[in-house]
A and B are shown apart, each in its own frame.
Chain A
Amino acid sequence: MKLFCLSFIALHLICIPELNAQDLLNEIEGDDELQHVRASFKNPKVINAQSLETTHAGVLDFRISHRFGRLNGGLYELFGLDQASLRLSFDYGITDRFQIGVGRSTYEKTYDGHLKYRLLWQTEGSNKMPLSLVLFSTMSVNTLRFPNLTYERTFVTRLNYVHQMIIGRKFNTALSAEILPTIVHRNFVLTSAEKNTVYAIGGAARYKFVQRVAFNAEYFYVPEGQLAPGFTNSLSLGFDIETGGHVFQLHFTNSPIMIDKGFITETTGKWSKGDIHFGFNISRVFTMKQPKKPKE
């Protein structure tokens, strides 16, 4: 009898694992597919700097960017609002990894074009790919009329190039950070104290403190000896506010220039002196090409 009871209990114990296999789904779920990390930043631009994001495939991003004059202009200049510098741009996502774009700035009446390609894409969870690496390359053309000069300037002297790597990571839903090793090449510089090729490194981060609003900061450091005295490093701080199809970016920066060669190598403002410009970017996206509808 005892033996029977024991064996009966034992039998039940053996069967318990079978009974407890309640989670049916475990029987069929394999390894999860790799998921790319999205929305490290709210926008392909942090403020002036490029972010880890690119425009989605088939999406056109039209942005209007303004930088006003210096806050230390005082009430007479309405804290800089009397002066405005503009950049209009169109960026388009050929694929989810590859973006092209063109822009036109008030600054030096510059036209610019760029290519941006995501080489490595951070993956979710399993850390198979811990970071993203994006390549960025832009060329700009200064179209100011040449002043009467004692020497001849050719078209080539109007051209400037910036090549950049953007390496970064979304650490959690709130915090993302990146570093931007950069080479700026200007075919023409005004004084011999300025180098044609300038090496710089940037850093940028965003902290999303509530849903739809993020704080951004970016800084570009140009090692000594490459620029004439009087040029400073660019520091910008701002907020992203997202409403449906728009992203509003409001910020303060010591650089009113919105093209890469400009804010990296031609910034003259100093935060410590109050040479701070208020500015905003408005980004509006248009879906030009819809992704294929799933077939029924």
Chain B
Amino acid sequence: MLSRFLLIALFTLPSISEAQTKYFTKKGQISFYSDTPVEKIEAHNKRVTAILEKESGKIEFSVLITAFEFEKALMQEHFNENYMESSKYPKSTFKGNISNIQSVDFSKDGEYPLTLDGELTMHGVTRKVNEKGKLIISKGKISASATINVALKDYNISVPSVVGAKIAEIIRVEIVIPQFDLLKK
């Protein structure tokens, strides 16, 4: 009995007490592109928050919807008012894991492919997603990027038929973290 407890204690305690190394940014970038023959729409957000736990591979993103900037002010207003309903759903988040974090050698320069599993919440809808990205280590600097495709109907974002030809059904979303900084407690 005692030995069993000891065993469990031995295995669990170190993992609990070990401090996680965390990296974060508040200057991540998310851009999205809607390409149709009629109109090309793009928007950029340069105030994306992200945090990464080095040992566990846990990663989370948070995006303020109103911080997306469009070429046309009215588009931005409609994006917030009619499509994303940003006063009801001010933020989009991704919470997940880098399943192959073990393959990243943080001390060695290089480009490491990543596999991400998690939940993407947008416009009040949460969906499981599985995406690919990459992590780049260069002279101790950590940066990351990923490109994902988002189908509007998956997140209950409806496009009225009058403007249907102007807005793509599947939106390309590019995520770039120019630099992760070490989170100091």
Residues of A in contact with B (beta carbons under 8 Å apart): 1, 4-5, 8, 11-12, 15, 18-19, 23-25, 27-29, 32, 35, 38-39, 56-59, 93, 124-125, 173, 211-212, 242-245, 285, 287, 290-291, 293-294
Contact = CB atoms under 8 A, between A and B. Distances in A.
A105 to B, nearest CB: 26
A25 B93 contact: yes
Given A1-B1, A244-B162, A27 B69 contact: no
B134 interface: no
B73 A56 contact: yes
Nearest to B64: A32
Interface residues of B, number: 44
Interface string B1-40: 1100100010011001100001010100100000000000
B160 A28 contact: no
Given A24-B51, A27-B183, A287 B62 contact: no
Nearest to B53: A24
Nearest to B8: A8
Contacts of B162: 243-244
Contacts of A293: 44
Contacts of B46: 294
A144 to B, nearest CB: 37
B81 A59 contact: no
Contacts of B24: 27-28
A293 B31 CA distance: 12
Contacts of B13: 11
Contacts of B62: 25, 29
Interface in B130-157: none
Contact of B5 (A4, A35, A56): A4
Which 3 pairs, one residue from A and one from B, show the smallest C-beta to C-beta distance? A56-B73, A24-B51, A15-B16
B126 interface: no
Contacts, number: 96
B69 to A, nearest CB: 6
B87 A25 contact: no
Contacts of B69: 291, 294
Interface in B75-123: 77-78, 80-82, 85, 87-88, 90, 93, 95
Interface string B59-72: 11010101001011
Contact of B60 (A24, A38, A59): A24
A23 B2 CA distance: 35
Given A1-B1, A8-B5, A244-B163, 20 more contacts: A1-B2, A5-B5, A19-B16, A25-B51, A25-B62, A25-B93, A27-B51, A28-B26, A29-B49, A35-B66, A56-B74, A57-B73, A93-B73, A124-B87, A211-B82, A244-B78, A244-B162, A244-B166, A285-B74, A287-B74
B172 interface: no
A285 B78 CA distance: 13
B99 to A, nearest CB: 17
Given A8-B5, A19-B16, A294-B46, A24 B80 contact: no
A8 B9 contact: yes
Nearest to B72: A287
Nearest to B83: A211
A28 B166 contact: no
A59 B73 contact: yes
A19 B16 CA distance: 7
A25 B44 contact: no
Contacts of B73: 56-59, 93, 287, 291
A137 to B, nearest CB: 24
B176 to A, nearest CB: 9
Contact of B49 (A11, A28, A35, A287): A28
Contacts of A19: 16
A173 B85 contact: yes
A25 B74 CA distance: 31
Most interface-central of A12, A24, A29, A57 (chain B CB within 10 A) = A24
20 contacts: A8-B5, A15-B17, A24-B60, A24-B95, A25-B62, A28-B26, A28-B49, A29-B49, A38-B77, A39-B81, A124-B66, A173-B88, A244-B78, A244-B162, A287-B72, A290-B71, A290-B72, A291-B69, A291-B73, A294-B44
A56 B95 CA distance: 35
Contacts of A11: 9, 13
Nearest to B70: A291
Nearest to B25: A28
